[in-house]
Amino acid sequence: MKDRINALVVFALISVLVLSLGILVYNQILGVAGLLVFVSLLYYYKKNISIDEVRFTQAIENIYADLDKINQERMYEMPIAMTIVDIEGVIYWYNQTFGNVFKSEKRALFNKNIIEELGFDLKAAVQVEEYTFNYEEREYGVVTNSFTDKVHQFELVHFFDLTEQSRQKQLYRKTSPIFCYVVIDNYDEINEKLPSHKRSAVLSQVDIKINRWAKAIDSVIVEYENDRYLMIFERGKICGIQDERFKILDDVREIENDEKTPVTLSIGIGISEKILGIKESQELSHAALEIALARGGDQAVVRRDDKMLFYGGKTEATEKRTKVKARVKAHGLAELIKEADNVLLMGHQNPDMDCLGSAIGLLGVCRALDKEARIIIREINYSIKSMFEYLLEKGDYQEAFITPKEVEEFKQEKTLVIIVDTQNGNFLEMPELPEQVSKVVVIDHHRLSGKSIANAIMTYTESYASSTCELVTELIQYIDEKEKTVDAVEANALLAGICMDTKMFTLKTGVRTFEAASYLKRKGADTIIAKTLLQDDLSTYAKKSEAVKNAKIYFDNIAVSVFENNTDSGRLIAAQAADELLNIKGIIASFIILKNDDGLNISGRSMGDINVQVILEKLGGGGHLAMAGAQLPNVTDPEIGRELLIEAIEKYQKENE
């Protein structure tokens, strides 16, 4: 209504102004009178408008004043603790809840420093997005808001009580379900070797012990296959299981049978810091089981996202009598090679005779299947120099090797990459290559440790095998339909790899090792040539003897030696010296610490009573029970390396007491 009146007044003013200007032309007196009327009306209108604006402004100010008063009262009475501090932490204001939570009868907090009085980290609270503050057994989530009074900067700090929420979260994590897979490793062997009545007795004892263990941790257990169990228990139980280091492994291993072969279990448990669904939790545990089996069994693997903890692994992997798996893998490998445009063969960094020998054997397979193949080698080290020269002298291998820089020119859309003698993606000659191709095959005899090859479409890993050359030889036997897969040169390369890893058939040698060597012998392999490829020159032999001479005996039966060598043969000398130390009476394990330009390298060897793999895994290394290694690139002092090694050995012994 008021707006309409104002509009009419404006219209009247305009009309009077126009009329007055018109009259002024014909009659000056009437025109001036009209202008006086216009000025009077305009003055009256402006006065009324000013009064309205003042009233309106005053009303707004009154409303804001009321709101400020309401806000101040509500902020003071809010159940969330709040305070205003300056950038130094001095408290200028706090509400009732803050006072109740943090103020004692003897301490008023006005003008006090929140950092000193409460131990509150103001800087972290401002910078960290999700900052929590613990005070007298309660947990608070902290949110800050900055503001200024044009002179000083202040922080309005909110304290949200998260104690109950955290308690519920911890309770949920403690009671959330954990999947645990249990497999009897040598179930087939028990069925094969033991008569039916004794077999039943042994398996019955295993079943009783596993079920008792499940009952002790309040677990639900289901036997979903004759040799496989699935257990589900609360997450809170895992700490106790880890503290006793999966005693069930020892309990089952102690079961006696006529074959004197210990019954062993593989256990896989997956735990995540993230909130996972049932399906994801089950898959994580099953992946942990696969790792335990790939490492040879007789152990438990607890996988915490990408981190893995290993328990057990006290016995060597049992050699499998059946070759069904080898035949299936051989058929699959042959099909993958036939489907590929070409093949790239790659081993670990600083390749040894087993690595190169297995690659040469697979090169022969590719040639027999009419597929172009190359072996990736960054540089020829001392360990493989003699074999490399032998290959160039005896066969058509001049074009068989390429460097990582040349891979891009050779690689095609359907290139197949075959990785030999390692499962650790960090140790490859080209660590980035598996991610650049669609199909990857892994063939290895080491226990899984470190970063595995994630996108492998076929993996053939048997930790019972003496060498990767043994596994490749078995594969060749099932691919060798026309008896033309390998020639004498390739057979010698494979035999040399077996001889190196078994120390001329004295260590880690099983029935299948001799069967593989017998096949290579029929293909023209010569043990004299194999031994010649493994010979050292006089200088290398002298340095090896020096490393043996420097050895000290620890724990009555473990030899440890330290020596420095920056030549290409340093690693080989260390490995051979570790082997030589086992020839000393009373020594059951040996370690050589090599200092070179890359830091410290440790080679470990064992007669089987001590698991050098478990020891060196504590230093970031790996391998298998009788032969393992580790690198300490950030350690340059050999004595520090010795101390770390002795500490790892002591820890291993305590775990196995």
pLDDT value for 535: 82
Say what the pLDDT of residue 64 is: 45
Q: Residue 494 — very low, low, confident or very high, per pLDDT cuts 50/70/90?
A: very high
Phi/psi of residue 290, each to 5°? -60, -40
pLDDT for the residue numbered 63: 46
Q: What angle do CA 622, 623, 624 make, to 5 degrees?
A: 125
Residues in the chain: 657
Rounded CA-CA distance 443/325 in Å is: 13
pLDDT at 52 over 70: no
Q: What pLDDT score does 46 carry? A: 60
Lowest mean pLDDT among 165-174, 447-456, 471-480, 647-656: 447-456
Q: Residue 31: is its pLDDT beyond 60? A: no
Residue 322: the pLDDT is 57
> How high is the pLDDT of residue 449?
62
Sheet of 81-86: strand order equals 91-94, 81-86, 153-161, 138-148, 131-135
Q: What is the pLDDT of residues 324-335, one digit of tens each?
A: 778 888 888 999
Asked if pLDDT for residue 1 goes beyond 60, the answer is no
Does residue 313 register a pLDDT over 80? no
Contacts of 484 (CB under 8 A, 6+ apart): 368
Model confidence over 603-646: pLDDT tens digits? 999 887 888 888 988 888 877 778 888 888 888 888 998 999 99
Which sign does the torsion angle of CA 282, 286, 289, 291 carry? Answer: negative
Q: Are 351 and 386 in contact (CB under 8 A)?
A: no
How confident is the model over 370-417, as pLDDT tens digits? 999 999 998 888 888 889 889 888 778 888 999 999 999 999 989 999
Q: Any idea which residue has 């001049």 for tokens?
A: 398
How far is the C-alpha of 564 from the C-alpha of 595, rounded, in Å? 5
Helix axes 353-368, 468-479, angle to 10 degrees: 10
Q: Give me the pLDDT at residue 498, please.
A: 93
Torsion sign across C-alpha atoms 576, 582, 587, 588: positive
C-alpha to C-alpha distance for 577 and 561, rounded to whole angstroms: 9
Query: Distance between CA atoms of 377 and 321, rounded to whole angstroms?
Result: 34
SS3 state of residue 348: strand
Burial of 161 (0-12, 13-18, 19+ CB in 10 A): middle
Task: For residues 249-258, give the mean pLDDT.
Answer: 82
Whether pLDDT at 463 is above 90: no
pLDDT of residue 231: 95
Its sign, for the CA torsion 307, 432, 466, 543, is: negative
User: Which range among 36-40, 81-85, 144-148 shows the weakest confidence by mean pLDDT?
Assistant: 36-40
Joined together, the tokens standing for residue 457 give 């479409």
pLDDT band of residue 67 (cuts 50, 70, 90) is very low
Average pLDDT value for residue range 178-190: 88
Provide the pLDDT confidence category of residue 215 given band limits of 50, 70 and 90. Answer: very high
Q: What is the pLDDT of residues 255-303, one digit of tens each?
A: 876 656 688 899 999 998 887 888 888 989 998 888 888 777 888 999 8
Tokens of 552: 């000290």
Asked if 460 contacts 445 with a C-beta cutoff of 8 angstroms, the reply is no
**What are the two backbone dihedrals, phi and then psi, of residue 347, each rounded to the nearest 5 degrees?**
-120, -155
* Average pLDDT score over residue span 199-214: 91
Cα separation, 514 vs 532, whole angstroms: 20
Of 363-372, 506-515, 516-525, least confident by mean pLDDT is: 506-515
**Residue 531 pLDDT:** 87
Is beta strand 138-148 parallel, antiparallel or unpaired with respect to 343-346?
unpaired
Determine the pLDDT at residue 275: 77
pLDDT for 495 equals 94
H or E element in which residue 124 lies: helix 122-127
pTM equals 0.60
Q: What percent of the chain has pLDDT over 70?
A: 84
Q: 426 and 450 in contact (C-beta within 8 Å)?
A: yes
Q: Does position 228 have pLDDT exceeding 90, yes or no?
A: yes
